[in-house]
Chain A
Amino acid sequence: MADRILKSINTRGLKNAVRGSEYKKEALISYGILIGGYILLQLGAMTGLIGRNLQGQFVPICVYVSLAISLNLVVGISGELSLGHAGFMAVGAFTGAVVVRVLENGIGFAPLRLLIALLISAAMAALAGLIIGLPILGLRGDYLAIVTLAFGEIIKNFMNVIYFALDENGHLKFAFNHEIEGISNAGRVLTGPIGATGVTKIATFTYAAILTAFTLFVVLNIKNSKQGRAIMAIRDNRIAGESIGLNVKKYKLMAFVVSASLAGMAGCMFGQNFSTLAPAKFNFNTSVLILVFVVLGGIGNIWGGMIAAALLTILPEALRQFSDYRMLAYSIVLIGVMIATYNPTIKSRISAFWNKVNPFKNKDKDKGKKPKKTGKEAA
């Protein structure tokens, strides 16, 4: 009697139910895009189809793709609006700049230097994420958004008053809010508002692509783990999450800190791609730019965010010939795409049109839909 199976539910209602997201499919598409994109860009550069200017954008493209992936962990998977992602990027970039410079004499092998710098940047950014996240993750919705914005600005401000330099003996010197005396220009590492100087660029397209792959690996794995499920459950229904014993703050913090450390690594890579880098680069606009990638790609859709990040990093470069008009065009495209993808009327028209012209359409699905349509028309 104990094994008696209860009557199964009425399965007729399931016709309208939606299949869940399939992790394997998502992973396949995401890695596919990354590998395909890498090969395509490498080929383009080798054959000379891609010009010098765009080739200079290869590392930033990878960095922004990583940032879009890591921000998706907070915005899409954890469901919290963050407007300060560039702050963590800044922590990583400047930590990386200092670490690489300090190691320059000790470790000759550049990739190893970069790897150590990436790890330390990740740790520092995670620490920043922890310090920021711990007090604020109890806040809700737009209040959390404004606090992340505030923290992003605070981090940028602090970077403006931090001075690091190497003296003649190779010792690292630090000063807060004032210049370091008696240092030659070559010895400067971080110089307040001027930022990182004298960086020997060690980031390459391949390293950056490997970092992006790592970021993707971590985020996709988390999404399909006990921790990721808990984070998404809390996003969907906080109260129900608490009722089954999920520690809301712990999981929100987990998403935030992991995302911050991944952003720190991306920032470190970004910093190693430019000979000078000012803190002003990591302002509110950069945070917003990363958020735009995530939202345009479809919130929570990892590969959508990747494509949006790549396209929107290339687009301003590609529109360079329109010079003055390019940012104007960019803003109009942004508004237009947002309205087209989120307005319910336009969205349904587009999907209806797509159903008509889609050559890959599933015949079974079509059969299922037809009687429903006629039913609606009759009504």
Chain B
Amino acid sequence: MADKDKREKMPGASETGHTYENRQEIYYNDNVGGRAVFVDAKEQYDPDEPYNEQVYLPEKDRDKEPILQVNGLGIDFGGLTAVDNFNLTLGRTEIGGLIGPNGAGKTTIFNMLTKVYEPTRGEIIFNGKSTKGMNTVDINKAGMARTFQNIRLFDKLTVEENIKVALHHTTDYSLIDGMLHTPKYKHEEFRIRKEAMKYLKIFGMTKTADYRAGSLPYGAQRRLEIMRALATKPKLLLLDEPAAGMNPSETSELMETIREIRDRFQIAIFLIEHDMNLVMNICEGIVVLNYGRVIAKGWPEDIQSNPKVIEAYLGKDRGKEKKKKAKEEDIEAALAKGKLESAPSGKPDEGRKEAQ
């Protein structure tokens, strides 16, 4: 309970500019999250000598086999290398973040993980098995579910049906049963209706059960998409920009939701997000991608102070006074919007000096 109080005291998105220090405290006190142990995240990334991934697991997951291990993943689109040498290890109940500027290849990585694209190089070991030769459907059956950047719901089906479709593999009756509505059909339908309602209740959307998914408000659609993914009973949930298009209060609600999902279902979550407040608050490990390559990995505070990350987001050419001033204004503007919250927590100056 003490833990719960702490979490509720956690400052909201942009109401109080909560600092790096108090978030650290939250993480130390969070018995669910646990402190991840990293070697030396401030070390520069060297493509020839990648980090040893194993040590990046949060403590609570270290005694278990990681849910996802990715080694040297890469894809080329007609000679153009979109992603190269991507490595990742994700713990059983870890919330991992994947960030990077637009076009860095984040969604492409999701697409490779779910086999929408077949990777050109590298291997993906999911739940102890290589996903080589699997297609999108097999991947989902193996226990990986995802949401999409641009929401993809079954628009003309109702909310309840959207979840029932996702319960498809656990619904046990044949086409003949479905055609003739046999007692078996009735029994199973009754069961999955109850189960679908259970999900709706968890997410507080029971009222919306009969509405068409396509006509729901934006936030509810995002929620439904997560629910639908969860209904396939995944071991790993991939969220592609879950907070896109949400206002600050919706975003902080979403943060609660994501953590709640992890706690309740005890699954791993890997998410792409541009909202730094969300990423820095809920992710245990973060990977930063730029131009298809990993430029940094580590614990949120390490990422915030990593000069390569700052360079990727704010640009390189900082030597000239004018530009420096402009960038400072940029940071202030970003701060005002609640994005990149803690970016100027003293550390970015290091990056500037280095560039000079």
A residues with CB within 8 A of B: 1-2, 4-11, 13-14, 16-21, 218, 221-222, 225-230, 232-233, 235-237, 239-248, 254, 258
Decide: A245 near B168, CB < 8 A? Known: A4-B260, A17-B217, A18-B212.
yes
B residues with CB within 8 A of A: 1, 4, 114, 116, 135-137, 140-141, 145-146, 148, 152-162, 164-166, 168-169, 171, 173, 175, 177-181, 185, 188-189, 201-205, 207-208, 210-212, 214-220, 223, 228-229, 231-232, 250, 253, 256-257, 260, 263-264
Q: Given the complex of chains A and B, what is the CA–CA distance between A222 and B202 in angstroms?
A: 29
Given contacts A218-B179, A232-B154, A245-B168, 19 further A-B contacts (CB under 8 A): A1-B1, A2-B264, A6-B204, A7-B253, A9-B203, A9-B208, A218-B180, A228-B178, A233-B162, A237-B154, A239-B148, A240-B153, A242-B136, A242-B137, A243-B140, A243-B145, A243-B229, A244-B140, A244-B145
Shortest Cβ gap from B249 to chain A (Å): 9
In the complex, the answer to whether B156 meets A236 with C-beta atoms within 8 Å is yes
What is the predominant secondary structure among interface residues of chain B facing chain A? helix
Decide: A8 near B169, CB < 8 A? Known: A243-B140, A244-B145.
no
With beta carbons under 8 angstroms apart, the residue of A5, A14, A244 that contacts B232 is A244
Q: Given the complex of chains A and B, what is the CA–CA distance between A253 and B161 in angstroms?
A: 21
Q: Given the complex of chains A and B, what is the CA–CA distance between A244 and B145 in angstroms?
A: 7
In the complex, the answer to whether A16 meets B153 with C-beta atoms within 8 Å is no
Q: Given the complex of chains A and B, what is the CA–CA distance between A243 and B136 in angstroms?
A: 6
Shortest Cβ gap from B78 to chain A (Å): 21
Which of A232, A235, A243 lies at the interface centre, i.e. has the most chain B CB atoms within 10 A of its CB? A243
Q: Given the complex of chains A and B, what is the CA–CA distance between A227 and B156 in angstroms?
A: 16
With beta carbons under 8 angstroms apart, the residue of B161, B177, B211, B217 that contacts A10 is B217
Q: Given the complex of chains A and B, what is the CA–CA distance between A5 and B204 in angstroms?
A: 7
Shortest Cβ gap from B198 to chain A (Å): 11
In the complex, the answer to whether B204 meets A222 with C-beta atoms within 8 Å is no
Residues of A within 8 A of B264 (CB): 2
In the complex, the answer to whether A245 meets B169 with C-beta atoms within 8 Å is yes
With beta carbons under 8 angstroms apart, the residue of B4, B165, B211 that contacts A18 is B211
A selection of 26 A-B contacts at a CB cut-off of 8 Å is: A1-B1, A1-B263, A5-B202, A6-B202, A7-B253, A9-B204, A13-B218, A13-B219, A13-B220, A14-B211, A16-B215, A17-B208, A17-B211, A17-B212, A17-B215, A21-B156, A225-B181, A227-B178, A228-B178, A230-B165, A233-B157, A235-B156, A236-B153, A242-B116, A243-B136, A245-B168
Q: Given the complex of chains A and B, what is the CA–CA distance between A58 and B162 in angstroms?
A: 40
Q: Given the complex of chains A and B, what is the CA–CA distance between A239 and B135 in angstroms?
A: 12
Shortest Cβ gap from A355 to chain B (Å): 19
With beta carbons under 8 angstroms apart, the residue of B153, B158, B178 that contacts A226 is B178
Closest B residue, CB atoms, query A231: B165
Residues of A within 8 A of B154 (CB): 232-233, 236-237, 240-241
